[in-house]
Structure 1
Amino acid sequence: MTVKNVDLLIVGAGPAGIAAALEARAHRVDTMVLDENPYPGGQIYRNVSHSPLADPAVLGADYLRGRALVEDFERSGIAYWPQTLAWQIGADKRVSVTRQGAGGGTLQIAAKAIVIAGGAQERPFPVPGWTLPGVMGVGAAQTLLKSAGLAPQVPAVLAGCGPLLYLFAWQLINAGIPVRAILDTTESAGLRRAFGHVGGALRAPGYLSKGLSLLRAIRRAGVTHVKHVEALRVLGDKRAEALEYTVGGHKRRIEASLVLLHQGVIPNTQITRSIGCDHAWDEAQLCWRPRLDAWGETNLADIFVAGDGGGIAGALAAEPSGRLAAVQVAHRLGSLDTSKRDSRALSLRRALDRHGAIRPFLDALYRPAEAFRRPADDSTIVCRCEEVTAGDVREMARLGCVGPNQTKSFSRCGMGPCQGRFCGITVAELLAEAQGCPVPDVGYYRIRAPIKPVTLGELAAAVTAPEIVGERAGFPK
């Protein structure tokens, strides 16, 4: 297999990956960026420089802000391979990748340092009926709008909690797309929990004012807004037809052929788990995150994590996070002395702290309720790939399963194409509940390469790696 050498390899071209690349380039570090998507920007800035929308401004100023970052990256001359899947990272920092399209194939990239900027994924939202056609995640719906200009053709019902729920509702309204209702599952105790973090939130008033402006716009649009929803069930035979929900102990029903679910995001840890990085359970964000030092370095030397993949903090915090990792890499490779490194890091840490000040408030306010993380209805599907239910997981716990890896052996739960991405955290919580122990005691799936499906043909393919200078781009002409 062809092997290509580079000083710094960045996996992911979202705000953290782009910022890391630009910072490394400024310190004369030979850098290369890989990304699965056709254009840089990640989820938050997806297609910002190649939007299919007639007026991308309908997505808001925060989205358009990413255009300058992406354009700086496109002009930088940094080696960039889009539509490239990094499906294995070895302990020797050799990364196996498969490129799509013309000139595609499989090769390895050997790096002196790696920054993983894989971002976040939507938290699973296993409610009865969530696998029916007509039900999807808010994040997935937003991706369709950003990447292909595909908008809902019928009024959607948005259900769940978290800032993205309201942002996407506002984006739909702004684009002239009707929203039937918003069913907010935020607990009534959420505001009381968040009150203790108001002091920190006031250090970042822009976030609070933005949230209030979204709520005002939704109210002016006349969208039905139901708070403190306690239970959800999607009704339908062959597809979604209605949504049944409970408020104050009373069941209600709303007709809906399109239901968009969301209850926050969690770090995408598949890559870091596959290479043996240490992880810790974050009780505030109810998720696993890799253990990182002040520079974003994992327990594995010269492997860093930047952005939401290391803990949810948002796009604005992702940029200084990526730059901090790049500064440390530049120092370690001899391109930056200690004094200059520490001086540069000081301003970056201040920016990171400023943008992170809002997180304890948001984490407390939008903490997903237990009922929506661990479905009480045993018939609710937990593992969508293998159709394993919550009842199946509880039964395996009664039979003696102590962790997700045993449930995988007994039921194939977590063995489908997603490899546990969308069931792992739910399975761990169900097992912990059944055993009466903390989630960290239960653990998580052992993730093995390839971390995403790769065909035998791709594995067999050989590619002659082009020179970095000749392939600087991968950017469209």
Structure 2
Amino acid sequence: MTCGAAQILLKSSALVPAQPLVLAGSGPLLLLISAQLHRAGVAIEAILDTTPKHQYFSALKHLPGAFRNLPLLAKGVGLLSELRRAGIRRITGASQLEAVAGNDERIGAVRFSAGGERRELPCATLLVHQGVVPNVQLTRALELQHDRDELQQCWRPRIDTWGESSRPGIFVAGDSAGIAGALAAEAFGTLVALQAAHQLDRLSATERDAQARDAQAELGRQRAIRPFLDALYRPAREFLLPADETIVCRCEEVTAGELRRMVDDGCRGPNQTKAFCRSGMGPCRAGCAG
């Protein structure tokens, strides 16, 4: 399952995954959920960090901006230190992940490449994570204009500095407008409220601008670290273009290869693909074909 799903189960129901446990992927949430599970008494077999090594160098040019948000930067360093003190293995440069079935057809191990060799670890649960992107289902349904985020390989709604979208009167704030975290969402929400009050003639432009200064400064601090994080944790190519045998719709057991064959046969959109192979039509209705 995903790290996000495991975090929800832990927080909402105090449930933890079966052990031995392996976490694999890239991004800050991978470290956070690892620490949270460790604090809950879960034994972690290993953390497989799939961040490509060359991205550490690509992110260096953004490091000065990241220092504007020292608390968040320190939190990340603190999580790494906590996991190291706990003796949890963190294997960097992992690639070619493969879940291996055990005798009962459930997962029994995870196979991967690291350090130039093929390795295998036993696990009863594999948690995966490849970053967080904005949820744009509602903004797409409203036919708002969107821009492509090439670093994170996702779409985000086009908004102005006050959060107003391409359709006047519709505002987008928080992570739906671009991943920046809870504190940024709070500051951005304040800006949206001030602009709405101005448009309703409850505040003059001068009053709006004066009241917005603190929120704008906070939003700037929270966003300053994003270029560094986005460059460092850009999804690796192997996850953007999975191998043919990779299952992309678990409910209907549809593989990436099957979807590619659908495209070759003439399918040009997710709805038509669903009609052909039911991808995204199972119990989770995750819209996998999209």
Matching of residue 191 in structure 1 with residue 69 in structure 2: no
Whether the 8 Å CA contact 2:270–2:289 is kept in 1: the answer is no
Q: Tell me the residue number matched to 1:149.
A: 14
Deviations 1:435-475 (A, max 9, x none): xxxxxxxxxxxxxxxxxxxxxxxxxxxxxxxxxxxxxxxxx
In the TM superposition, residue 406 of structure 1 has moved relative to its aligned partner by 4.3
In the TM superposition, residue 371 of structure 1 has moved relative to its aligned partner by 0.4
Give the Cα–Cα distance (whole angstroms) in 2 for the partners of residues 292 and 422 of structure 1: 27
Matching of residue 312 in structure 1 with residue 179 in structure 2: yes
Give the Cα–Cα distance (whole angstroms) in 2 for the partners of residues 385 and 304 of structure 1: 35
Q: 2:205 aligns with which of 324, 338, 350?
A: 338
SS in 2 for 1:222: coil
Matching of residue 380 in structure 1 with residue 246 in structure 2: yes
Structure 1 residues 289-298 or 181-190, which shifts more? 289-298
Whether the 8 Å CA contact 1:241–1:256 is kept in 2: the answer is yes
In the TM superposition, residue 390 of structure 1 has moved relative to its aligned partner by 0.6
Q: 1:407 aligns with which of 246, 253, 273?
A: 273
The change in CA–CA distance for 1:280 and 1:379 in structure 2 (over 3 A counts) is same
In the TM superposition, residue 156 of structure 1 has moved relative to its aligned partner by 1.6
Report matched runs for 1:155-174 at 5 Å: 155-174=20-39
The change in CA–CA distance for 1:414 and 1:274 in structure 2 (over 3 A counts) is farther
Whether the 8 Å CA contact 1:270–1:421 is kept in 2: the answer is no
Q: 1:250 aligns with which of 96, 117, 137?
A: 117
Whether the 8 Å CA contact 1:230–1:248 is kept in 2: the answer is no
The change in CA–CA distance for 1:421 and 1:358 in structure 2 (over 3 A counts) is farther
Give the Cα–Cα distance (whole angstroms) in 2 for the partners of residues 404 and 344 of structure 1: 45
What percentage of residue pairs aligned between the two structures are identical? 52
SS in 1 for 2:209: helix
Matching of residue 284 in structure 1 with residue 151 in structure 2: yes
Deviations 1:172-214 (A, max 9, x none): 2223322111000000111011011111111112222211111
Whether the 8 Å CA contact 2:279–2:288 is kept in 1: the answer is no
Report matched runs for 1:259-278 at 5 Å: 259-278=126-145
Deviations 1:214-264 (A, max 9, x none): 111111111111100011011115211110111144211000001111111
RMSD: 1.8
Give the Cα–Cα distance (whole angstroms) in 1 for the partners of residues 281 and 204 of structure 2: 47
Give the Cα–Cα distance (whole angstroms) in 2 for the partners of residues 310 and 418 of structure 1: 25
In the TM superposition, residue 421 of structure 1 has moved relative to its aligned partner by 4.3
The change in CA–CA distance for 1:190 and 1:273 in structure 2 (over 3 A counts) is same
In the TM superposition, residue 312 of structure 1 has moved relative to its aligned partner by 0.8
Give the Cα–Cα distance (whole angstroms) in 1 for the partners of residues 248 and 16 of structure 2: 28
Matching of residue 367 in structure 1 with residue 237 in structure 2: no
Give the Cα–Cα distance (whole angstroms) in 2 for the partners of residues 323 and 418 of structure 1: 34
In the TM superposition, residue 278 of structure 1 has moved relative to its aligned partner by 1.7
Give unmatched runs, 5+ long, in structure 1: 1-135, 425-477
The change in CA–CA distance for 1:229 and 1:423 in structure 2 (over 3 A counts) is farther
Q: Amino acid of the residue matched to residue 156 of structure 1?
A: L
TM-score (norm 2): 0.93
SS in 1 for 2:144: coil
Give the Cα–Cα distance (whole angstroms) in 2 for the partners of residues 328 and 350 of structure 1: 16
Matching of residue 234 in structure 1 with residue 99 in structure 2: yes
Give the Cα–Cα distance (whole angstroms) in 2 for the partners of residues 226 and 303 of structure 1: 45
Give the Cα–Cα distance (whole angstroms) in 1 for the partners of residues 151 and 204 of structure 2: 36
The change in CA–CA distance for 1:398 and 1:155 in structure 2 (over 3 A counts) is same
Deviations 1:92-113 (A, max 9, x none): xxxxxxxxxxxxxxxxxxxxxx
Give the Cα–Cα distance (whole angstroms) in 1 for the partners of residues 125 and 136 of structure 2: 30
Give the Cα–Cα distance (whole angstroms) in 2 for the partners of residues 422 and 166 of structure 1: 26
TM-score (norm 1): 0.58
SS in 2 for 1:139: helix
Q: Amino acid of the residue matched to residue 399 of structure 1?
A: D
Aligned length: 288
Give the Cα–Cα distance (whole angstroms) in 2 for the partners of residues 327 and 338 of structure 1: 10
Q: Tell me the residue number matched to 1:300.
A: 167
Whether the 8 Å CA contact 2:96–2:112 is kept in 1: the answer is yes
Matching of residue 395 in structure 1 with residue 261 in structure 2: yes
Give the Cα–Cα distance (whole angstroms) in 2 for the partners of residues 371 and 300 of structure 1: 36
In the TM superposition, residue 169 of structure 1 has moved relative to its aligned partner by 0.8
Report matched runs for 1:18-57 at 5 Å: none
SS in 2 for 1:266: coil
Deviations 1:136-172 (A, max 9, x none): 1111111111111112352421110100000111112
Whether the 8 Å CA contact 2:24–2:129 is kept in 1: the answer is yes
Give the Cα–Cα distance (whole angstroms) in 1 for the partners of residues 222 and 4 of structure 2: 22
Structure 1 residues 393-402 or 285-294, which shifts more? 393-402
